[in-house]
Structure 1
Amino acid sequence: MMKLGWYSKLDQTERRTYWACFAGFGLDAMDTTIYALVIPALIATLGLTQAEAGYLATASLAGAAVGGWAAGILADRLGRVRILQVTILMVAGFTCLAAFMSDFWSLAAVRFLQGLGYGGEAAVGGVLISEVIRPALRGRVAASVQSSYAVGYAISVSLLPVIAALFSEEMGWRVFFAIGIIPAGLVFFIRRLVPESGIYTEARTAELAGVVPPPFWTIFTGPYLRRTIAAAIMSTGIFGGAYVMITWLPSYLRISLGLSIKSSTGYLAMNILGSLVGPLLFGWLSDRIGRRPAFMTFLVLQSGNVAILLLAPVGLDTTIVLSFFLGAFQGALASGMLPTFAELFPTTIRASGQGFCLGGGRGFGSVVPATVGILTATVPLGTAMGICALCAYGTAFCAALFLPETAGADLHGKGIDQGTMAGRDEGATRIASA
């Protein structure tokens, strides 16, 4: 049975770091999901086409790709906590700025800049939580941070009918974006209560003592090249499939299934509930059977679920059940990348490596929702979504075959490079007893 007893085992620093990352991910998720919810309003009030709506989603994801790697490089040089604060401010500021845009190109520019912050926050936050949490608990704790996506999504979905009732469609989406400034307040909490990662501080002390850190491009050399490529391709598939659903599911419910805002909110609520549970399940499973088998299991489950949801003639009652599993399986897959990618690289290039793998996945995966928009010119929206998502998950499954197993790796110093068979056996023993 899945348990949350790990929380009682966290010390004060681990708990503060956990809640800082949880809140950061959640509030940023609120900001990013606002766009998916206002797509119908943008199409109606600004005259955007579905293809242009897809391009706007891609603009944000392209920004996230650049931001993830850039923030990772900076975090390896300037510190995890400092860059985390900067990226949160970027997401909040540019989400709010979108409220004042009135055409496709200005929205595309602001969406790209917002993406820079979101991609950076996800990469740096994932490294921070993975370094602070002890190896025996890392899979469960770091993966559970992704559950905050469901919280952020729930907030934005809950606000949608309220804003729709209080404001006209023309004004409502602007008010919605303006609310995105709220996450900026989290920075004050982080500055006062969250210390820098001890593992990073040790590496930084060694650097000041004369140890020359490797350049960020080390992730493309020697033993790191294979794991970098495999992780980046897997994240491309996972993010690509996720972005199809995040970007187009609200429109699919309202346009293809003909549901009202009120009715579609109920379906999205089930999807959100699943997103809350999935990361907890992945963390529990991956700490017991390993990261790679857990990824492969959930990729198969998600592919089957998407195929039935979008390509089979199912009724509305079945759709609402499948929406729960859609969120659960996707949340599980996204959550697993946080601890796994951090375990692939040594401390001095960990944020650079995780930033590239997550950022590269977001960047390459960003073409998938745009492809859906293009395909809708010739096939129904549901069919376009299903084809693109299944291709993405198939790609991720193939890449997962080439990932090394990292569960239980000690992140001090060289991470998985210290994970000799003896080290991994010791880590497995600690996990089993946790």
Structure 2
Amino acid sequence: MGIQASDTGGQTSEERGWFRSMTPRERRTFWGCFGGWAVDAMDVQIYSLVIPVLLSVHFLADRSEAGLIGTVTLLSSAAGGWLAGALSDRLGRVRVLQLTILWFSFSTLLCGFAQDGTQLLVFRALMGFGFGGEWVAGAVLMGETVRAQFRGRAVGTVQSGWAVGWGLAVLLSVLTEQLFAPEMAWRVLFGLGVLPALLVLYIRRHVTEPPLLRAPAGAPGEGPAAGPAPKAGFLAIFAPPQLPITVLCALVGVGAQGGYYAVTTWLPQFLAAERGLSILARGGTLALVIVGAFCGYLFGAWLSDRLGRRWAIVVCAVCSLAIVIPYTTGGLPGPLFTALCFPLGFFSASYFGGLGALFTEQFPTALRGSGQGFAYNFGRGVGAVFPFLVGVLADALSIGFAIALFAGAAYAVMAVAALLLPETRGKQLSEAA
């Protein structure tokens, strides 16, 4: 592995102005992937925001059914993500990115026409199949396009688009609940989820495949010589030389996804049921969490380049654990509870800032889509059980205790698995081709 000099010492002026130093192709790819992650988040988070409404109008029977729909969606997204990763190794990152955005956009629209909980479960499962694939295609595309010295910050900053999309979903949720009766508001909100399909127009016009997949060896302006990546079977990630890396990355994915969805899927209902907040108060509280998440993504991306991929994940996991337990179980007074909203969002999102670069650098080019897709989405598949288990335990005890229990376990798994992975900061991807 080649480690850049700047990784072990002070930053150059180019690194400090990394975004300005990006080439036009890198910058266009950045905005395409950032937008993809934002609209992905918007459509994903709509469901958690309408859970209180669906329960209040008795469209869903109870919290267990609500949690089951969330779990099925994530399980479907795990399958879709792995498939999309394998397809991106064969069809190209950009093409798969476009297909997944179109898929989850129109599936979200269908959710607005559901007549009962079973239909909503089916439509959300279809939606999950698309949204699971978008992250893989976008993260691999960005990781392979940007230069090594910027990779952590670029891929991590793309992740911050999730907070933007989440914030947009909250804004639209508040607006629809103010403008429409509850029985219609959630349907309108799902209907607005088709708008992300428009992003495909930008991607088709401005985003191209990364040099590692399309450049002939030594092509000028394409960085280190790298011919088209050889094709490999997607099961090659389980071959003996690669298997330990695949397993450890998958465990990191379990911790990252399980912890995140245990918190965010049930946070609106926690605020409504245990904190007694109205829709406007919930919107304000979630806004603080989302602003914290946006800053956390950027912090995690920066920390990944400065501290290294592994230790950035560990630090963020420990801090997440230290925040989520008192936030959800402490019965905190109002001012202190509000003060913790920003750090909750900050640390629960921060580890995602380094996750994409970590996974990108652990797999060779021919297996990168398959490996990264499996690791991230195996984690999502296992983590998918967490919303359902939180819902079941919440009916028996409390939402806050259930969130703390499952999120805490997930953060611990993530930290230990990250420590066991090799450090890859500064790795030139051509070395792993």
For residues 164-211 of structure 1, give each alpha carbon's deviation from its aligned partner in whole angstroms, at most 9, with x where no partner exists: 111000000000000000000000110111111111114899xxx998
Find the aligned partners of 1:62 and 1:335 in 2 and give their Cα distance. Answer: 23
Find the aligned partners of 1:28 and 1:319 in 2 and give their Cα distance. Answer: 29
Match 2:111 to one of 91, 95, 98: 98
The letter of the residue matching 2:108 is: T
Match 1:194 to one of 193, 207, 211: 207
Match 1:31 to one of 43, 57, 67: 43
Q: Where has structure 1 moved over 4 Å in runs of 4 or more?
A: 1-4, 209-212
Question: How many positions carry a matched residue from both structures?
Answer: 413
Contact 1:347 1:413 in 2 (8 A): no
Find the aligned partners of 2:178 and 2:300 in 1 and give their Cα distance. Answer: 38
The letter of the residue matching 2:95 is: R
Contact 2:213 2:229 in 1 (8 A): no
Identify the residue that residue 111 of structure 1 maps to in structure 2: 124
For residues 225-256 of structure 1, give each alpha carbon's deviation from its aligned partner in whole angstroms, at most 9, with x where no partner exists: 11111111111111111001111000100111
The letter of the residue matching 2:51 is: I
Match 2:95 to one of 54, 78, 82: 82
1:372 counterpart = 2:390: yes
Task: Specify whether residues 279 and 171 from structure 1 end up closer, same or farther in structure 2 by C-alpha distance, changes over 3 A only.
Answer: same
Contact 2:216 2:228 in 1 (8 A): no
1:229 counterpart = 2:247: yes
Higher helix share: 1
Alignment of 1:67-216 (within 5 A): 67-202=80-215, 213-216=231-234
Unaligned runs of 5+ in 2: 1-9, 219-226
Identify the residue that residue 11 of structure 1 maps to in structure 2: 23
For residues 14-61 of structure 1, give each alpha carbon's deviation from its aligned partner in whole angstroms, at most 9, with x where no partner exists: 000000000010011011111010001111221421001001111110
Match 1:311 to one of 329, 341, 354: 329
Question: Displacement, 1:315?
Answer: 1.4
Q: TM-score, normalised by structure 1?
A: 0.92
Match 1:42 to one of 37, 50, 54: 54
Q: TM-score, normalised by structure 2?
A: 0.92
Match 1:346 to one of 344, 355, 364: 364
Identify the residue that residue 259 of structure 2 maps to in structure 1: 241
The letter of the residue matching 1:236 is: V
Find the aligned partners of 1:320 and 1:134 in 2 and give their Cα distance. Answer: 40
The letter of the residue matching 1:303 is: L
Match 1:386 to one of 393, 404, 412: 404
Q: Which moved more, 1:357-366 or 1:103-112?
A: 103-112
The letter of the residue matching 1:38 is: V
Task: Specify whether residues 5 and 251 from structure 1 end up closer, same or farther in structure 2 by C-alpha distance, changes over 3 A only.
Answer: same
Find the aligned partners of 1:340 and 1:296 in 2 and give their Cα distance. Answer: 12
Question: Displacement, 1:313?
Answer: 2.9
Find the aligned partners of 1:326 and 1:203 in 2 and give their Cα distance. Answer: 46
Unaligned runs of 5+ in 1: 416-434
Give the RMSD, CA atoms, in angstroms. Answer: 2.0
Find the aligned partners of 2:228 and 2:54 in 1 and give their Cα distance. Answer: 55
For residues 118-166 of structure 1, give each alpha carbon's deviation from its aligned partner in whole angstroms, at most 9, with x where no partner exists: 1100011000000000000000111011111111011111112211111
Question: Displacement, 1:4?
Answer: 6.5
Question: Displacement, 1:377?
Answer: 2.4
